[in-house]
Structure 1
Amino acid sequence: MTSTDRTSPEAVLREAGLRSTAPRRTVLEAVADHPHVTAAGLAELLGTADQRMSRQSLYNVLEDLTRTGLLRSIQPTGSAPRYETAVAGEHHHLVCRGCGTVVDVPCAVGASPCLTPVDAPGFPVLDHAEVTWWGLCTDCAPADPR
Structure 2
Amino acid sequence: MTDSAVLLRGAGLRSTAPRRAVLEALLTRPHSTVTDLSQAVDGQLSNQTIYNALDDLANSGLVRRIEPAGSATRYETRVGDNHHHLVCRSCGAVADVDCEIAEAPCLVPGAHPGFARVDEAEVVFWGICNDCAMTQSRQA
* TM-score, length of structure 1 as denominator length: 0.88
Compute the RMSD of aligned alpha carbons.
1.4
- Whether 2:50 is the aligned partner of 1:58: answer yes
| Residue of structure 1 equivalent to 2:129 | 137
Matched AA of 1:130: E
Counterpart position of 2:11: 16
Aligned to 1:39: 34
- Bigger share in helix: 2
**Unaligned residue ranges in structure 1 (runs of 5+):** 1-5
Does 1:113 pair with 2:105? yes
User: How many aligned positions are there?
Assistant: 136
The alignment status of 1:87 with 2:79, answered yes or no, reads: yes
* Counterpart Cα distance in 1 of 2:51 and 2:128: 30
Q: CA deviation at 1:139?
A: 1.1
Runs of 4+ with >3 A deviation: none
Relative to structure 2, which stretch is displaced further, 33-42 or 114-123? 114-123
2:93 aligned partner, one-letter code: T
CA distance in 1, matches of 2:89, 2:10: 38
Give how far 1:110 is off. Answer: 0.4
TM-score (norm 2): 0.91
Distance across 2 between alignment mates of 1:65 and 1:105: 22
Whole-Å separation in 2 of the counterparts to 1:26 and 1:134: 31
Which string of whole-angstrom CA distances, capped at 9 and with x for unpartnered residues, describes residues 14-59 of structure 1? 1111011111111111011110010011112211xxx611222111
| Structure 2: 5+ residue stretches without partners | none
1:90-101 equivalence runs, <5 A: 90-101=82-93
